[in-house]
Chain A
Amino acid sequence: MSSSRFVITVIGLDRVGIVAGISRVMAEHGVNIADIRQTIMGDLFTMIMLAEVTSGEFGLPAFKEAMNSIGDDLGVKVIIQHEDVFRFMHRI
């Protein structure tokens, strides 16, 4: 792994509290938001974040579980992928 940055994508119907809920869980796991942007895919709310892991004790499985759980509460889908996926796939 060349870095410990993740792309977090949140997709779902817009409602109050999505950004607050998601970023709270990230903060609890010591995950920093390096970049954040929103876009519309069809009529869905789509938030894309570049997240940086700062804590040495970071555990991906636990983080994923917590993010999925807050996603369920908010009615949105949360997808977490290492940034290398996008670097490799689309660029030479």
Chain B
Amino acid sequence: MFIHPEEILETLKMVNNEHLDIRTVTMGISLRGCCHPDMATFNSNVYDRILRCAEKLVRTTEEIQSLYGMPIINRRISVTPIAIVAESCQADDYCSVAETLDRAARETGIDFIGGFSALVQKGMTPGDLKLIESIPRALAITEKVCSSVNLASTKAGINMDAVALMGRIIRETARLTADRGAIGCAKLVVFANAPEDNPFMAGAFHGVGEPDCVINVGVSGPGVVNAAVRGLQGSPTLGDIAECIKKTAFKITRMGEMVGREVARRLDAQFGVLDLSLAPTPAVGDSVAAILEAMGLESCGTHGTTAALALLNDAVKKGGSMASSNVGGLSGAFIPVSEDEGMIRAVKRGSLSLDKLEAMTCVCSVGLDMVAVPGDTPAATLSAIIADEMAIGMINKKTTAVRIIPAPGTVVGDVVEFGGLLGSAPVMAVHNFSAETFIGRGGRIPAPIQALTN
């Protein structure tokens, strides 16, 4: 087959000028065989198991990166939710498990390890509660561990006791990592309808329905889509733009599929899913907000943004699902504020508010992601913000999440710096009217009826 020079140059341009990359290669590892009542034995089982599976992960991804000339940005591991596998351990808290995960992550050379998690959408077991209460300290004493809690689902409703608890946990996590811009909160996410095969942190965990060891790949290229949309000649209609995004997403996805399969083959693991996402980075030109603005909005967050995002998200999924039969995870457009140079700019110039961001989450992947709010935001307000987002996910049968950072001592207008891929987050205003009584009621918001949809 003849490879056209233009195709070669197009690929090079995507990688070198437009930030096309394989964002993550994530190895999912089941820890179900590691359970033991003795905490020390359990920890050593977990450590050995992770090392045995992921020993060659970093080296193999580096080889693939070199072979294809395609940058792989992050290597990650996700494990079975710790609340499940540690349930039988005799211990007051699970911080030692977090330390074990951290040590295994350092030893294998990966960037993040996810799975310090609990699934409590319908109720909590003692193990779930122990895990959640361990989160603030676990995230403060470790570097690479990420934590997630599923609080709601379309089938179970919203566990409002857990929502109330998580407001306090997030505040405590912020307090314990206050000296580092509350970075613990950047490694903690709460979900409605959490996907079990998601390669993106902080929400990655290895679901109980997953195989023993699996490779999931997250591929990303907002810069490529942005360049393609901006490169359209004449005055394209929104239909033309959707078509253009679709074709571009196809190419990006094919790349991910190829890399994922080759990594899985070499590591003798199953190939899981390709997460076809547009996940921004703080680099200039790698922004989802910039794509929305390329469609004709003066600034992201203004009226029309939700519609533009809906178009973008759907076109990405359509192009991607044609390119691969293994699409899964959290596919779609991500809108983490701190990680997107265009979103940061939109917040700073006042065009993007928390309320608009919430509306945008109805039509895209994830939800309120990497949003900084004032340090004195009450726990009940954090819980209420979470409850709103969980409700959107529950009613719309989609995944939504909240990763919010109440950085101690900050007020609206401040900027919280995280560095690296996590970027920097301008502190956004929250409503000052209290939701304390509402959140204090607890209980469960019942699952919605699935007929009579309107």
A residues with CB within 8 A of B? 1, 7, 9, 11, 37, 39, 41, 46, 48, 50, 60-61, 64, 79-91
Contact = CB atoms under 8 A, between A and B. Distances in A.
Contacts of B307: none
Contact of A88 (B5, B9, B66, B255): B255
B257 A88 contact: yes
Contact of B5 (A39, A61, A89): A39
A50 B68 contact: no
Contacts of B257: 88
Given A60-B66, A88-B257, A7 B3 contact: yes
B9 A85 contact: no
Contact of A86 (B8, B66, B67, B262): B8
8 contacts: A48-B8, A48-B9, A81-B11, A85-B11, A88-B257, A89-B254, A90-B4, A90-B254
B69 interface: yes
Contacts of A82: 67-69
B3 A86 contact: yes
Contacts of A89: 7, 11, 251, 254-255, 258
B188 interface: no
Contacts of B255: 85, 88-89
Contacts, number: 65
B69 A79 contact: yes
B33 to A, nearest CB: 33
B412 interface: no
The prevalent SS among residues of B at the interface is helix
A80 B8 contact: no
Contacts of B232: none
B5 A60 contact: no
A1 B63 CA distance: 12
Interface in B52-86: 66-70
A88 B69 contact: no
Contacts of B284: none
B51 interface: no
A87 B258 CA distance: 10
Given A88-B255, A88-B257, A90-B251, A83 B66 contact: no
Q: Which of A48, A84, A86, A88 is packed against the most chain B CB atoms within 10 Å?
A: A88
